[in-house]
Amino acid sequence: MAAHGRDAVVENEDRERIRCRLAGRRHAVVCGDRVRWTAGETEGGGGTITAVLPRTTELARLNLRGAAEPVAANLSQLVAVLAPRPAADFGLCDRYLAAAEWAGLRACVVVNKFDLPDAPALLAAATATYRAAGYPVVRASRDGEGGVSELAARLAGETSVLVGQSGVGKSSLTNRLVPGVEAVVREISEAASAGRHTTTASTLYHLPGGGELIDSPGVRDFAPPLPAPREIEHGFREIAAAASCRFADCRHLHEPGCAVAAAAADGRIDARRLASYRELLGLAEQLARPGSPRFRR
């Protein structure tokens, strides 16, 4: 349900929450993991995690050493949240959607804070970019009747993670989507109550319509672990679909006969999305070079 360092809050079959300590240093858990644990008093806790079960899916990010660092596990859907304030970072949204594609997750885009006057313009821009690429785009707001009804329908039966910039309102959406969320937060905090251990990276909630929701902390930036350079295009649906180029190894940069460049030129592919693809391709090629630094901020 939540994890921080060597401590985690585990929920059993009866939905009781127990603070556990990880056994040894071989194990590392993230929100959404399935674990084996044994009851017994530990330092400030009531159990020990003895095993982490294999993950079906995983959302990860690159840390500053260039290594993949898991963020959440056993997901079925990624929900990228945009808002008019702070100003929407479409490049960040592109990277999250690409990570979802490489991880085999469904994905959708939410325009939050729709009660703000500049939200309709953002919705129009997001729709033109992402719906054209095949992603559902829904709107939501903290206030007002039906403010999260469309989003709730998208979340039902899924294990979803909310991701996006700091300040886009993910926690406010969670408050609307999860009845009694304050009580859940309080119970998890009490289960994790050991001073420095009360901070959690992400928290998992059960949804009234079925399924689970992981509310992740806001970020300034996000860099996903990258596949081989030739696989980067599969993180961008519309680019992969248009890639019937003259040369099989076309990188969609400046090669002659590039179908992707032609699709961008006539508006079938968003030029900014193509720029996002090229940026990730450049990073993947840099990381693939022998002797290259793994990652630079």
Please write down the HEC assignment for all residues of 67-108.
CEEEEEECCCEEEEEECCCCCCCHHHHHHHHHHHHHHCCEEE
CATH superfamily of the 58-215 domain: P-loop containing nucleotide triphosphate hydrolases (3.40.50.300)
In sequence order, the 6+-apart residues with CB closer than 8 A to the CB of 33 are: 3, 52, 53, 55, 73, 74
C-alpha to C-alpha distance for 128 and 81, rounded to whole angstroms? 16
Among 178, 219, 186, 187, which Cα is nearest to 201's? 219
pLDDT tens across the length of the chain (297 residues): 998 888 899 999 999 999 999 987 777 899 999 999 999 877 767 899 999 999 999 999 988 877 899 999 999 999 999 999 999 999 999 999 999 999 999 999 999 999 999 999 999 999 999 999 999 999 999 776 568 999 999 999 999 999 999 999 998 899 899 987 775 655 665 655 543 333 356 899 999 989 999 999 888 899 999 999 999 999 999 999 999 999 999 999 999 999 999 999 999 999 999 999 999 999 999 988 876 655 554
Domain covering 229-288 assigned CATH 1.10.10.10 in the classification: no
